[in-house]
Structure 1
């Protein structure tokens, strides 16, 4: 009779470890295993209240579109998802797709509906808490912050500009521009940030060399800042093929913008007298369009939420509600990002923003789960330069970037075979 009890127990434990590693490897390496299966009441492409993200459903690509806004034009193709960055920008704790909170922060506010959010210290760049910080989502009009950064670098704000018909007829929110109006680039950037004017965005894009040249400059600036989850596909934030950002990236971009005194002044403006334009001759009986008092679309600023410094809103059918902004709470300037969210009967999106600001303001000193690593420009005339990690190789987007599956599986196989060999040697030695 051969006494195999100890060896069997060792081999059983070895097999259990191998099984756990194999399951974990498959879950990490196959993006289809990360997607949340539709549950009760879950509609594909529509955000349920407080959508789960722990299994990284948006690690490499944005949520499914609900309309045709991202269907490529004839002859064009949808850009591939941006490469995944491992380790993630901002620190290893930001590799999570669930909620990560710094010590001493307590629980996040209740009734948050955003699929992704982030709370940080604007001054130090310390990230205090986040949910799915590197998940890919659509920015909607929050991408106008990136456009404003490029415009403030390149345009003379007091230079006069005209407005073309295709620009003042652009779909979506409008500054109220019109033909033969007398405008400056300052009016355009102000209308871009205060009223989220898509007409102003297109005028700025023309000043920067056209839509394609502008997108190239916006994406180069995002890369320069280390915002590697971001691809601007339209200057205004209207959904277009390949559009992408993350909570981390928007925080980095907004923090860089807030280091520019002109941006900080404009984003914190409640009212601005925006120029009008004369009657349009092609419209019989068209009245004069006088200058008017433009009011910010940022409700927190309009309602004078205590300490608010400014922020940028966004919404499209595919992006849902988005927001990035900052407020002084106590002795800290708190920066927040909200992506892919909703207002509900019991919790408006503005109420959720206020809760995040107040919660961030109560964070203890030294609290951090990561950092907004992008360098900020103290002088707006000198664009910030950030060393950017080498892009990931053009591997299929399904790769998790965390482990090389073949290597891990090979090690597991070697471990199991080695264990079997060990048991065989021990058994033969007892004959």
Structure 2
């Protein structure tokens, strides 16, 4: 697997990162059009590099190296489960909303029954790990309400803690927003912002500084979304997509296709809204799907960029620097950039606490981690716990028995919708998905599916199957 780096350039000053992604910096020779994606050529690097490297010489050839991550192996595990009564996971998540975040004294407990998409052990509360000979012990002092460590390429879940607990996601939900909209909006498209585009943002929203009556490229707006978690940029992009309600509907449908059944979308920016939840498992699915997209990889791994300021008549339009709020990427606020980090997204709201999804590479191992709402008072707790889980993932990969799987999208796996059936000998089965409290979600037979039953009787009529290995096809690039 190629080790790639991004040379120092005007729109991304981050250097010395290991990454399985293509280069993320635009070339030192800027394009004539703001917002046009310009890529630098890549070089092969050693398996390990120090966190700080001497500046690289600027490169003049604009090419994109192939990314091996775009083809992901997936395991399809068949099962048939039927239940007589269902009260859904979002009801179980209600106490988390009422808790008031990580500082609440009456911290909620994980639901007794959750989805088992990806494996039956992922539905069990508490920490799930199967250490084999020579495998390191999990890090101590992990305080996240929910977390998951997986091999990003194989999809193997190496360890998890309350993986399917539906919790407020904060701005990590922007990964689903980006994965849904990036193919729909050309990066070079220009848009003049109207007053209506900025309506509906929650009080205290994080902003990148989008101004009414100013023109921005889609590329600029996505940088605002990923680097500054700008809700203003999110709402403008949603307006370009036909409005917030249409965007929310598309995000929910995309979540269903990704088999992210713990997720209920209310606002595209992740702002605290009653009923808006996701899970560590689902956030990992969003990241893994988004990383198939070249533009997603560019934006989520950019450390610093220039963002357009307000144009003034007769003068050249100014710009100002924005820095990524991901502290494992930028090294800000007392953190050190994590070796091999390549994004993806962090978040914070009052109810969600701190949330984080990160992906990194060392040698041939690509590890994906999600941490939700650590209770530690330390301000960098979510980053430190994520970094310790990344360290553990690299040391444990290949030495532990996976406890589950990150399933592929239903569309990629070619599975049938719920309600269809066929003989188990064909590798395709019918499955009944949990009936969510807020929306009816259908599910395919990819992954083992069991139903959360609260106040009812769970009857498992049959379960079984076999494994079918297949390749995850490359997603067409926008």
Does TM, normalized by the shorter one, top 0.5? yes
- 1:281-292 correspondence runs (5 A): 290-292=318-320
Paired position in structure 2 for 1:65: none
1:391 matched to 2:433? The reply is yes
1:194 matched to 2:227? The reply is yes
- 1:150 deviates by 1.4
Residues 395 and 184 of structure 1, relative CA distance in 2, 3 Å threshold: closer
Q: 1:372 aligns with which of 399, 406, 410?
A: 406
Q: How many residues align?
A: 335
Q: 2:355 aligns with which of 322, 330, 336?
A: 322
Q: Which has the higher contact order (CA 8 A, sep 6+)?
A: 2
Q: 1:101 aligns with which of 124, 129, 151?
A: 129
Q: 1:57 aligns with which of 77, 90, 110?
A: 110
- 1:272-283 correspondence runs (5 A): 272-278=305-311
Paired position in structure 1 for 2:282: 249
Which sections of structure 2, spanning at least 5 residues, go unmatched? 1-85, 332-336, 418-430, 440-450, 461-478
CA shift digits 1:72-130 (9 cap, x unpaired): xxxxxxxxxxxx64xx1001111111000132344321222210000001111100001
Paired position in structure 2 for 1:146: 176
Residues 336 and 144 of structure 1, relative CA distance in 2, 3 Å threshold: same
Segment of structure 1 superposing worse, 93-102 or 171-180 = 171-180
As a proportion of its length, which structure holds more helix?
Answer: 1
CA shift digits 1:35-61 (9 cap, x unpaired): 9x9xxxxx94443699988xx63467x
> Does the 8 Å CA contact 2:190/2:216 hold for their aligned counterparts?
yes
Q: 2:453 aligns with which of 401, 404, 419?
A: 401
CA distance in 2, matches of 1:50, 1:332: 39
CA shift digits 1:358-378 (9 cap, x unpaired): 01110141631110012499x
CA distance in 1, matches of 2:413, 2:321: 34
Segment of structure 1 superposing worse, 329-338 or 203-212 = 329-338
Q: 2:330 aligns with which of 302, 311, 334?
A: 302
Q: 2:382 aligns with which of 320, 327, 349?
A: 349
Which sections of structure 1, spanning at least 5 residues, go unmatched? 1-27, 38-42, 61-83, 281-286, 378-382, 409-431
- 1:355 deviates by 0.7
Residues 341 and 275 of structure 1, relative CA distance in 2, 3 Å threshold: same
CA distance in 2, matches of 1:155, 1:267: 17
CA shift digits 1:318-377 (9 cap, x unpaired): 111001110113431110001122452496322112111101110141631110012499
2:396 alignment partner, SS class: coil
2:144 alignment partner, SS class: coil
Residues 346 and 274 of structure 1, relative CA distance in 2, 3 Å threshold: closer
> Does the 8 Å CA contact 1:29/1:405 hold for their aligned counterparts?
no
- 1:9-408 correspondence runs (5 A): 44-47=99-102, 57-58=110-111, 85=115, 88-104=116-132, 105-168=135-198, 170=201, 171=203, 172-278=205-311, 290-303=318-331, 304-345=337-378, 348-365=381-398, 367=400, 368-375=402-409, 389-393=431-435, 400-401=452-453, 405=457
Question: So what's the TM-score if we normalise by structure 2?
Answer: 0.62
Paired position in structure 1 for 2:39: none
CA distance in 1, matches of 2:303, 2:270: 22
2:297 alignment partner, SS class: helix
Residues 59 and 333 of structure 1, relative CA distance in 2, 3 Å threshold: same
> Does the 8 Å CA contact 2:171/2:269 hold for their aligned counterparts?
yes
Residues 46 and 267 of structure 1, relative CA distance in 2, 3 Å threshold: closer
CA distance in 1, matches of 2:413, 2:191: 28
Q: CA RMSD in A?
A: 3.6
> Does the 8 Å CA contact 2:88/2:454 hold for their aligned counterparts?
no
Residues 133 and 289 of structure 1, relative CA distance in 2, 3 Å threshold: same
